[in-house]
Amino acid sequence: MISRIDHISIAVKNYEKARFFFQDILGAVPGAGANNHDNKFFWQIFSLGDLSRFELIYPTGPDGLLKKFLKNNKEGGFHHFTLQTPDIQKAQQTLEKHNIPYFGYNEYGDVWKEIFIHPKDAFGVLIQIAQFNPDDWLDKSIVFPKGQKWSVEKKEKGCTLSFLHPGGGKVTLELTPEEMKKLKHELEQF
């Protein structure tokens, strides 16, 4: 039912201050972002390191989705986490089979389908379950071109070996010349 944890979401009152902290100080790479006009908030995905992602969300109107949350959490804070599923309908069926209520089914074309589990039904945590392709939401500098699964870059003392990660983005390893020889030997055994 669940492929992985995709990201955590942090609600903030001051987006620019939070963006500066995460992007300019900690080195996060911004990905997709957009206004949700119906619920009056803006969201932006960021990547840190090889695989870690988070989302900043902030209100764009006084009566939006985040009003109550930010009233109770003056500086903002952890809002929800998102689980990726390969099939939102199967996820719904599994929850229904186990009498776990969910709400907020939304479908945004072919790129995003989501449901939510309320904190009262999930041990105090808001859970978003979504069906999507992670690379669609990441900065192109941290994803491989379609169809490419790995790359090798020669370095002064070894190489950088990068692999496509099934959760989006890529994993990068630095190999010494000795490790390269060992890997080559192991691959030749096939």
Q: What torsion do the CA atoms of 24, 34, 6, 90 make, to the nearest 10 degrees?
A: 180
* pLDDT band, residue 51 (cuts 50/70/90): confident
Query: What residues are paired with 164 via a beta bridge?
Result: 170
| The one-letter amino acid at 123 | F
Residue 50 has pLDDT above 80, yes or no: no
pLDDT of residue 162: 94
CATH fold of 4-137 reads: 2,3-Dihydroxybiphenyl 1,2-Dioxygenase; domain 1 (3.10.180)
* pLDDT band, residue 88 (cuts 50/70/90): very high
Burial profile 138-148: b = 16 or more Cβ within 10 angstroms, e = fewer: beeebbbeeee
Residue 137 has pLDDT above 80, yes or no: yes
Closest CA to 41 of 71, 1, 13, 5: 13
pLDDT of residue 61: 92
Residue spans of the domains in the chain: they are: 4-137, 144-187
pLDDT of residue 166: 85
